[in-house]
Amino acid sequence: MSTSEDGRALIDGRFRLLSRLGSGGMGTVWRARDTALDRVVALKEVRPPDPAAEEAQPGLAAQMRERAVREAQALARLSHPHVVTIHHIVEPRDGSHPWIVMELVEGRSVHERLDEGPMPVPEVLALGRQVLSALRAAHAAGIQHRDVKPANVLLRRDGSAVLTDFGIAALDEATTRLTASGDLIGSADFIAPERVRGEEGNPASDLWSLGMLLYVAAEGHHPLRRATSLATVVAVLNDPIPHPVRSGALAPVLARLLVRDPALRPGGAELERLLADAEAGAPAVPGPAAGAFGPPPGAFGPADAHPAYAHPAYGPPTPAAAPRAPLASRRRAVLVAVSIVLAVAAVGVVVDKGGLLDLGGSGNGGGKGGATPWWTPAPDTAGTATGTAETQGGTLLTPANVRAVIEAFRKAGGSTTMKELTIHEEYALASIPTRPGAKTYDRYEFRDGVARKTGPGGTLYGGAAADDPFDVSAMAWDDLPALMKRGERELKVERPTLRYVVIDRWTFNDDRPTLRYYLINEYNAVGYFVVDSSGKVVASHPTS
C-alpha cells in the first residue's frame, strides 16, 4: 500500500481510499477512486475488522483469501442488472490481504431500510422478483450464494435491488471446503435447515433464505429469533413460524416457500410466477406441500384448532386424532434435537456480527416422506389439572366470557399471571408459569368450557422484557365490544371470517402488556389494532 499526493492510502498504486462504507465478519468495504479511469468504486478489504481475530484463528487469513478469490470467480461469471459487478481483484505482491474492486452502489442495504420499519408489500414483491432473478442467473451459472440476507441486498437510489457478497458462494466444480469440519458458515438467521443438517444444499436452499428475507422485510421482524442462539435453536426445532399479519398477497407465497423439505419448495421459475401473480392480484395456487405457517400470532395449538388452516394456501388441517409416533421414534427425535444443541455448543459457528443461530429440525418435511407440519400434536393430557367455566353466547370474545376463560385457566394453571393469552371465538390458548417466579411455563387450552394443560411450553429468559409474565385479568376487557365494532369499521377487512385477540408483551409496544385484535378474511386480508392495558388504541394497521 502506498499513499497519494494528498496523503490518502493508495491501493495497487491506483485506488485511493476515500471513506469507509461498512464492515462485517468478512471484511471492510471502502469508497475509493480509481485514479486510472477516474471513477468511484467500492473496494472490499478482505481481512477481519478486528486484528485479534487473525491471532486467535491461525489460518484465518488464508481462508479469507480463498473466499476473496471465490467471490471474484463467482461474480466474474455473472452479468446481471441485479448482481453487483466486479471490476478487478488486487493481490499484493507482499502477500498481504487481497482487495476486490466492485461497482459502487449508491444507496443503502435492505437491512438499513428495515431500521425504519417494515416495507410495503408491493415493494417487497418487487424486491423478491429482483433478487430471485439474480439468484436464478447465479444458479444457471452453477453458483449458490449461501448467504442471502437483508445486509447483502443493496437498494439503488431508484429502489432497484442488487445482490452482493458472494464471498461464501459454492461453485459446482469447487472441490475445496472453506471451513473446518463441523463449522457452519453464513448468517445463521437465514441459513436453510438442510444446510444446518450437514447437507451442502442446492438452489432451493438459497430460495429458503430469500423467503425468510421477504418475511422479515414485510413483517419487520424475524419470526424465529430468540434471546440467545440456543433459544433460537429450540424455537426452530419446536415452534411454528408465526402466521404473517402484514404480508397480504405475499403470505401464500411465503407459505409455499418456507417449508423444510427443499424438494417441496417451488423452483425458481414457479416462484417467479407466484410472485408475479401476487403483484397482479391473482389468487395463489396451492402446491403439493402443506403451508409452512403455524397458527396466527400467539396461537400454538394443534393445527385443526385454527380455521385458517382450511385455506388452500396453508395446506389442509392436521386431523385432531392423528396417531402419535411410537415412543421409540419420539425418543430418537428428542435425542437428535439434543445432539444438535450440544453440537452447536461444541463446534465453531461462523456468523456475521449480530447473527443468531437459526437451525432446523425434522419438521415440515425434514425427511423425504412428505410435508409434516412444524407444530406437533398436543401431548396426552390424562391426569393434568383442568378448570371449567360457564360461558354464554356463541363467542368467547365478550367481557364476561373472557373473564370466565381466564378464571378457568387460573383453576387449571394456578394463576392469572401469564406469558401470553390468545382468545378465539371458539377456543383459547395460554402460556402460564409452572409456579410463581418460575423460569419455565406450560401450555394450556380452553375448549368446550374446559381448560386443561396440553404440555410443557418453554423457558422464560431472564433479562428479556418480552418474557416477563403479567396479570392478564388487569387488561381493559370491558372495552372489548367497542374495540370490535371499531375494527369492523376501520380495519377494512371485507367479510371477516376470523376474529381473535393476542395478549402479550409486544416488542413494537416497548415490551409492555398489549392486546392486539385481529380480523382476517378468506382472502388473507389482515387488519389489527394494538391496544395498551388501559384500553387505548396505540396503533392501527388496516389491511393494505
Query: What length is written for the chain?
Result: 544
Give the residue carrying C-alpha cell 408489500.
121
| Distance of alpha carbon 15 from alpha carbon 42, whole angstroms | 10
- In angstroms, the first-to-last Cα distance of the chain is 54
Q: How many CA atoms lie within 13 A of 387 on its CB side?
A: 22
* CB 192, CB 360: distance < 8 Å: yes
Q: How far is Cα 495 from Cα 540, in angstroms, rounded to an integer?
A: 19
Quote the cell numbers at residue 270: 414457479
Residue type, 480: L
Q: Are 187 and 225 in contact (CB under 8 A)?
A: no
Angle at alpha carbon of residue 221, lines to 379 and 494, rounded to 5°: 80
Instruction: Give the alpha-carbon dihedral of 396, 414, 304, 515, to 10 degrees.
Output: 50
Catalytic residue among 12, 34, 147, 352: 147
Output b/e per residue, 156-177; b: 16+ Cβ within 10 A. Answer: eeeeebbbbbbbbbbeeeeeee
| Cβ count near 356 (within 10 Å) | 20
DSSP 316-339: PPPPTTPPPPPHHHHHHHHHHHHH
Grid look-up 382468545 returns 423
Q: Which residues contact 280 (CB under 8 A, 6 or more apart)?
A: none
Contacts of residue 225, defined as CB under 8 A and 6 or more positions apart, other chains included, come to 189, 232, 235, 356, 358
**Could you give the 3-state DSSP secondary structure of residue 64?**
helix
Distance CA 445, CA 383 (A): 15
Residues 6+ apart with CB under 8 A from 145: 135, 138, 163, 166, 169, 206, 209
The question of whether 172 is a catalytic residue gets the answer no
For the annotated catalytic residues, the residue numbers are 147
